[in-house]
Amino acid sequence: MEVRPNQTADNSSQQQRSQRNTAATTQKKPPASPNTVDSSSVSQRLQKELMSLMMSGGELGVSAFPEGESIFTWIGTIEGGKGTMYEGLSYKLSLRFPMDYPFKPPLVKFETTCFHPNVDQFGNICLDILQDKWSSAYDCRTILLSIQSLLGEPNPESPLNSYAAALWSNQEDYRKMVHKQYFAGESFE
């Protein structure tokens, strides 16, 4: 009588080994983060934003261009809105886009001295869309227009500059201080 090995036992042990190898291979790969972005896609998005801003920003009183060779560092300009304390004034800003943009907001600072309740002495800006209310749907144009709007409609309840916040209720003195600091020509460098 001839004894044959159990074919199903051999097949099942081979399948188990194959499944273990497959599981080990997939475990070695780190899971892809949904917010991972490669720098070329960020560069492409920033180039599209630049073209969009060049086409429509000037008529809105905002503009921005890359500073030097890097698409991740821009210099922006906003004009004070009509009917505001800042009408007729032009402010320079720096924008630094992170590698995980648009999932993280850019770092935006005033380079021109700006007397404002929501801007500190170093040019830092307190604006919710640049912090906890950031959305990847925002773009450079949105940011610049929001800052332009903030100039005319500050939030004195959340000040970075408490003196400007206190002075806001006296519009004439506030306007004088805005112009005094602007025309002093100091910048945050």
Which residues are identified as catalytic?
A: 126
Alpha helices (H) along the chain = 7-28, 39-60, 140-152, 162-167, 171-183
CA dihedral for 139, 137, 107, 114, sign (positive or negative): positive
Q: Which residues pair with 110 in a beta bridge?
A: 93
> What is each CA distance from 81 to 17, 38, 105, 136, 175, in whole angstroms?
70, 37, 24, 26, 14
Determine the distance from the C-alpha atom of residue 70 to the mean position of all C-alpha atoms in its chain, rounded to a whole number. 16
Q: Are 115 and 168 in contact (CB under 8 A)?
A: no
